[in-house]
Chain A
Amino acid sequence: MADFEIPTIKEYPVIPHLQPGVSAHLKPFVAKADFQKSLSFPGELVENWEQKAVDKLGELTGKYRSLRVFLDSCVKCGACTDKCHYYLGTTDPKNMPVARQDLLRQVYRRYYTFAGKFFGKLGIPGFVGAKEMNKEVLDDWYSYYHQCSQCRRCSVYCPYGIDTAEISMAAREIMDSVGVGQKYCNEIIGKVFKVGNNLGLPQPALEDTLLGLEEDVKAATGFNVKFPLDQKGAEVLLVTPSADFFAEPHVDGLMGYAKVFHEAGVSWTVSSYASEAANFGMFIGSYENMRKVSLRIREAALELGVKRIVFGECGHAWRVAYSFLNTLAGPFDFLDQNYPIPQHICEFTYDLIQKGAIKFDKTANDHRVMTYHDSCNVARASRMGNTPGGQFKIPRAIIQATCNHFYDMPPDTIGEATYCCGGGGGLLTDDLIELRVKGALPRMEALKQVVENHGVTHMAAICAICKSQFTKVIPYYGFTMDQIVSVHQLVSDAIVLTRQ
């Protein structure tokens, strides 16, 4: 099945011993010159790149307090060393969060601290953990900063809140600035600028797909549930990951959103111009690109004259939407201020459940014994509802309103301690499949526990990347793809439609 060793699920999770270098060969394809240029990055490794990389690092420490404080503050206590799913899955020590950070920190220490400069001149920079910028360092950066899914699990446990995601974003931005970009992320951002979504799905194809979905729902339920596109004057602009338009099980979630809007009597539309919730600008640490992608949503909302913006099920998209959209593309004073801006589809559905405005037939999901995977970006980088932790409560409340059987995975693998699916952060590409399989190990261990103890049959998620990643890697661990479902797929299957 694979040309690499698939990790074995042990009876109890263990912290593995170090095997230096075992995942050094895992690196994604490098972006071609054309794609680099469409994001205003140099096409190939620039001349004098060592100095330019060091300069860029200096520039970024002046722009981001997080980066500067995090590079200075680490005491190497070791609290984070066993927290990364990629370390647990690969056993490569450079996948320990602190060691990953140190790949950048060693260069920062060499060029931007007295200690590093002093011992560097003496010829022993390593004495204080400093290192010259060279090709070996750059290669390490390219490998290991593309083995971080920016899931922030380490930041929960760090006594100083050091977030490796911030460091890996900075490292990727530095690499982009000297001409070494990652193919997967940079091509996708290029497609968003050109076509409007990650998949490069043009307006006619999108229209076709949505009409097809209308027919499917009509055939299955007998109800005329609409999937509107570019409809001016709709109340809600739905911004959802483009995978929702045809990937499984994503599309079942999209049908769920449509049924909820239908049953609530709220008019909505998708925009072909901003037909993408994902924002890979975050993954490559580029504020400018993240902002440009975000502005498309603002422009679409203005163009269509909507009153509200609702986001579909997508983890990092919700981080950008919840935490950054107002900053990047606000102020949204032209939208209805009575609703959160933007709102998550789970918040939208949950409100209707609270009001009793939608009803479910839970027995429709009786063939499923559910568990729920907290997506990293939703769990640790955003919120739902009015109170902290709403991002854990609300999706579970929806599952429990639509299903009779629900069991949580072990507490140290959910909530704020949730493990990444193994494919986040711009790593959901076939050239990294070995990493993705290995990185999924902690989640698979947790899933196996509830499968064995409670007979769990399905795991629900609210993230397009999680869903794609799990359906791809779960067979390596002896499960089947159809065991992964969208939360709104459960809604879709259980909702009682009454309006014509």
Chain B
Amino acid sequence: MTALSWAYVIMFYLAMLILFVGVTRKIIQYARTPAPLKIPTTPAPTTKAGVVWRMITEVVLFNSLFKANRWIWIFGWLFHFALLLAFFRHLRYALAPDSIFWPLVNNWLVLNAGKYGAYAMLIGLLGLLARRFLVDRVRYISSPSDYLMLVLILGIAGSGMYMSFISRVDILELREFVLGLFYFAWQPLPSDAVLLTHLSLVLILMVIFPVSKLLHAPGVFFSPTRNQVDNPREQRHLAAWARRLETGTTS
């Protein structure tokens, strides 16, 4: 094991810790913060099942965004779908070849769809970045960090594509390294410059996730305008702090 490999082992654990603890903390915070009033954006479902369906259309199809703006929807949805494909394609680094999960995901599909999904990701990201530069309204609301976030993910996608399509890295060695992290049996990391860039950018992404707008991922599930049932006439909806106002007043 080189010093470089050790450094990456340590950085990976740190980044995973920050990601996991940070996001878990935010989720607990969201869950614990009361929603004292019924504020679903109506028309809204009147049943829980209806709300589940509404959330599915939001999370899977980006329904509201589709209504808002077709260009953002196309680029945004392409990017997120490609992200899902990339996740599947990267499973082979996190799962041992004999893992029981493999029959659940079609390996051919994972490899090919994931590979060409990279183009979809590139198109999506470049489209979103172009909008930030070209549309005056979007340019106005963009901070440097908004551009850099896209550049960061573009860097991850670009370095990944480079390794897939141009200069291949030793995948078996990389898998050993990653599986070693999971099994606490640390293995050396191939010291390929592009691979190290790819991994470093991923580490940065993991670390900034819980302190950035990437919190939209857990946030959307807690959005009261989307996840509340429209039944305020049938049920009172009293938060704990609001209940305290009631002591000593009227019948």
Contact = CB atoms under 8 A, between A and B. Distances in A.
Interface of A: 15, 17-18, 20, 61-66, 68-70, 72-83, 93, 96, 98-99, 102, 113-115, 126-129, 152, 155-163, 166, 287-288, 291, 295, 298-299, 302, 322-324, 326-327, 329-331, 340-342, 379-383, 386-389, 391-392, 416
B218 to A, nearest CB: 9
B224 A66 contact: yes
A383 B131 CA distance: 37
30 contacts: A65-B34, A65-B222, A66-B39, A68-B33, A69-B224, A76-B138, A77-B65, A79-B65, A82-B137, A98-B141, A99-B141, A157-B69, A160-B219, A161-B58, A161-B223, A161-B224, A161-B226, A162-B225, A287-B242, A288-B245, A295-B249, A302-B251, A322-B233, A323-B232, A324-B38, A326-B236, A341-B233, A388-B42, A388-B43, A389-B43
B102 to A, nearest CB: 33
Given A93-B140, A98-B141, 10 more contacts: A20-B140, A65-B35, A72-B219, A159-B220, A291-B242, A295-B250, A323-B38, A323-B232, A326-B235, A383-B44
Contact of B72 (A79, A127, A324, A341): A79
Q: Which 3 A-B pairs have the closest CB atoms?
A: A157-B68, A73-B219, A388-B43
Contacts of A69: 30, 33, 219, 222-224
Contacts of B211: 113-115
Contacts of A383: 42-44, 230
Given A127-B145, A391-B42, A68 B238 contact: no
B136 interface: yes
A342 B222 CA distance: 28
Contact of B37 (A72, A76, A288, A323): A323
Interface in B90-114: none
Name the residue among B39, B46, B224 with the largest chain A CB count within 10 angstroms: B39
A382 B140 CA distance: 33
B237 interface: yes
Nearest to B234: A326
Contacts of A78: 69, 72, 131, 135, 137-138, 141
Contact of A96 (B58, B137, B145, B232): B137
Given A65-B35, A77-B76, A79-B72, A327 B42 contact: no
B168 interface: no
Contacts of A340: 233
Contact of B140 (A74, A96, A162): A96
A243 to B, nearest CB: 24
Contacts of B65: 77, 79, 157, 159
B213 interface: yes
Interface of B: 26, 29-30, 33-39, 41-46, 58, 62, 64-65, 67-69, 72, 76, 128, 131, 135-138, 140-146, 208, 211-213, 215-216, 219-220, 222-226, 230, 232-233, 235-239, 241-242, 245, 249-251
A413 to B, nearest CB: 14
Contacts of A82: 137
B39 A381 contact: yes
A98 B76 CA distance: 17
B213 A156 contact: no
A72 B43 contact: no
A102 B131 CA distance: 19
Contacts of A93: 137, 140-141
A128 B58 contact: no
Given A159-B58, A327-B242, A389-B43, A96 B141 contact: yes
A63 B36 contact: yes
Given A75-B216, A93-B140, A99-B141, A157 B38 contact: no
Name the residue among A74, A83, A327, A340 with the largest chain B CB count within 10 angstroms: A327
B245 A163 contact: no
A391 B239 CA distance: 27
Contacts of B233: 322, 326, 340-342
Contacts of B26: 72
B42 A379 contact: yes
Contacts of A96: 137, 140-141
A38 to B, nearest CB: 19
A113 B211 CA distance: 7
B145 A128 contact: yes
Contact of B216 (A61, A73, A326, A382): A73
Contact of B67 (A68, A157, A163): A157
Given A129-B143, A322-B233, A158 B137 contact: no
A96 B136 CA distance: 12
B64 A158 contact: yes
A41 to B, nearest CB: 17
Nearest to A290: B37
B46 A388 contact: yes
A44 B27 CA distance: 38
Given A78-B138, A93-B137, A391-B42, A322 B58 contact: no
B30 A166 contact: no
B136 to A, nearest CB: 5
A142 B21 CA distance: 38
A416 B30 contact: no
Contacts of A18: 136-137, 140
A97 to B, nearest CB: 10
A158 B62 CA distance: 9
Name the residue among A65, A159, A323 with the largest chain B CB count within 10 angstroms: A159
Contacts of B238: 327
A59 to B, nearest CB: 10
A380 B41 contact: yes
A66 B141 CA distance: 21
Contacts of B225: 66, 152, 155, 161-163
A76 B213 contact: yes
A143 B98 CA distance: 63
A388 B42 CA distance: 7
A53 B35 CA distance: 22
A288 to B, nearest CB: 7
A380 B67 CA distance: 15
A127 B138 contact: no
B230 A388 contact: yes
Contacts of A329: 250
Given A75-B213, A79-B72, A389-B43, A68 B29 contact: yes
A114 B26 CA distance: 12
A61 B33 contact: yes
A115 B62 CA distance: 27
Nearest to B26: A72
A363 B212 CA distance: 61
Contacts of A75: 146, 213, 216
B11 to A, nearest CB: 18
